[in-house]
Amino acid sequence: MGTTGSKRYALALGLAGAATLSALTATAPATAATPAAAPAKTPARATCPQLSPHFTWYGHNRAKLQKMIDERGLCSHPDGRFAHRPVAAFDWDNTVVKNDISDATLAWALRHDKILQPGSWRDTSPWLTPAADRALTKACGTGVPAGRPLPTAENTACTDEIMEIRGEAKTMSGAEAFAGHWNHRRTVPEYAWVPQLFAGLRPAQLSSYAKKARAENLAAPVGTQQTVGTHKLAGYIRYYDQQKDLIRTLKAAGFDVYIVSASAETVAEAWSGGVGLDAAHTLGVRSMVHHGRFTTGIRGCGDVKDGHGEVIPYIDGKRCWINQEIFKIKGAKAWRQQDPQHRIALGGGDADTDVTFVNDATGAHLAVNRNKSELMCRGYDNADGRWVVNPMFIDPLPRKSGAYPCATEAHNNPDGSFGPLRRPDGSVVPDQQDRIHG
């Protein structure tokens, strides 16, 4: 099928330090995201880059993160010499920025007639159902030749079918859009389908569209909504100041910092420069390229061969991509948790899609609270004392009503069912109340 497009593969090798951290204590229960006085600490040396005090974190979270940075970074290696540079990895959407860059890019493309007519809608995903194929064919028509732009700016029916399938995995009539078998901890068809919709574009074209969507969403006031077809969705995106500052401080302290996203890698690259990260430190869904244009093919990971989205950076897939691309661990071993020297020091995420790699971190697990059960159960259980739970930095969610069902159905099973969440020793995580929120 050819090689991937805009990705530069010269990924810097970064290996997480093996030094043991003193445990980070769990944040005390509270009901408002107001800052508390930081615990007393000794004055920082010149080699200890500091998180800015001008950005509000919940409770003692800034101090917890600073402690990890000091113990793993240049503060503990003032000569700048690391046996293995510590690594930090962050999810992107709703972790580093507020809202979703895949949705923003797809919305922009639909409003500007940038999605190309496929030869057959069934070719866009191996799991697309006959009902979805019929709905898309009827709504989008067959008058436009394959490879030419669909008039989605005016054809509301076509745009609505695409948006509904992307957002709800259903057609506008309510039929299931995807069916079949897939590992639910490695992929989800509607996530993989977004890069597949960009098939036929050149990498530079998609990069241009993503940058235009970026400019539009950054310029829109906070709270803006947009209408795409008849679907309403967020029309603005903001970089979180706290996360920009955290990434800046980590880099200054000698950490190798990466983004690992379930968005198309080309789209993520259009955004990651805003926090000082280049393409080599941006991991996403890697669409395959043939004759200079994206195809519906997607690169595999570990022992999963290239295919059509059988694995993307999603739940366990994010661990695989981190192990393979950062730590150079190949084959089936890339799916397994590694020894501390070959794991990230800090992981940050906001959803169950991030729980595996965030849990793999040896220094601090940063969980942005969006009420996602598997992640929040891990965060509130705080089994190793290193979880740092923080409300969303913009428009945080209120307290979740009722407990997280950790003991019964918080774990996403490979077959798509849900079961009890367990600790490494096999014990079941008890249900948890939502304690850290807006």
Beta bridge partners of 419: 411
Give the residues across from 432 on adjacent strands. 404
Residue 146's contacts (CB-CB under 8 Å, 6 or more residues apart) are 116, 117, 118, 119
The Cα angle at residue 300 between residues 294 and 301, in degrees rounded to 5? 140
Specify if 158 maps to a domain: yes
226 and 340 housed in the same domain? no
Residues 77 and 105 in one domain: no
Do the Cβ atoms of 235 and 225 come closer than 8 Å? yes
Residue 13 forms part of a structural domain: no
Say if 161 falls within a structural domain: yes
269 with 159, same domain?
Answer: no
Residues 362 and 277 in one domain: yes
Could you tell me if 134 and 148 lie in one domain? yes
Element (H, E) at 288: strand 287-290
- Token pair, residue 230, equals 């008849």
Residue 141 domain-assigned? yes
Amino acid letter, residue 159: T
Domain assignment present for residue 298? The answer is no
User: Cα separation of 75 and 41, whole Å?
Assistant: 14
Q: Are residues 181 and 278 in the same domain?
A: no
Encoded tokens for 401: 């009503």
**Within a domain: 118:** yes
Number of domains in the chain: 2
| 74 and 179 within one domain | no
Of 215, 234, 253, the last residue of a domain is: 234
For 176-215, letters b (16+ CB in 10 Å) and e give ebbeeebbbbbbbbbbbbbbbbbbbbbbebbbebbbbbbe
CA-based nearest residue to 377, from 394, 392, 355, 362? 355
Same domain, 115 and 246: no
With b meaning 16 or more CB within 10 Å and e meaning fewer, what string describes 349-371? Answer: bbbbbbbbbbbbbbbbbbbbbbb
CATH number of the domain bearing residue 278: 3.40.50.1000
pTM of the model: 0.89
Q: Are 399 and 253 members of one domain?
A: yes
Identify whether 294 is part of a domain: no
405 and 275 part of one domain: yes
Domain membership of residue 342 as a residue range: 61-96+241-287+313-419
> Do 266 and 163 reside in the same domain of the chain?
no
Q: Are residues 167 and 213 in the same domain?
A: yes
Please check whether residue 433 lies inside any domain of the structure: no
pLDDT truncated to tens, each residue of the chain (438 aa)?
444 444 433 333 333 333 333 333 333 333 334 344 444 444 445 579 999 999 999 999 999 999 999 999 999 988 878 888 999 999 999 999 999 999 999 999 999 999 999 999 999 999 999 999 999 999 999 999 999 999 999 999 999 999 999 999 999 999 999 999 999 999 999 999 999 999 999 999 999 999 999 999 999 999 999 999 999 999 999 999 999 999 999 999 999 999 999 999 999 999 999 999 999 999 999 999 999 999 999 999 999 999 999 999 999 999 999 999 999 999 999 999 999 999 999 999 999 999 999 999 999 999 999 999 999 999 999 999 999 999 999 999 999 999 999 999 999 999 999 999 999 999 999 999 999 999
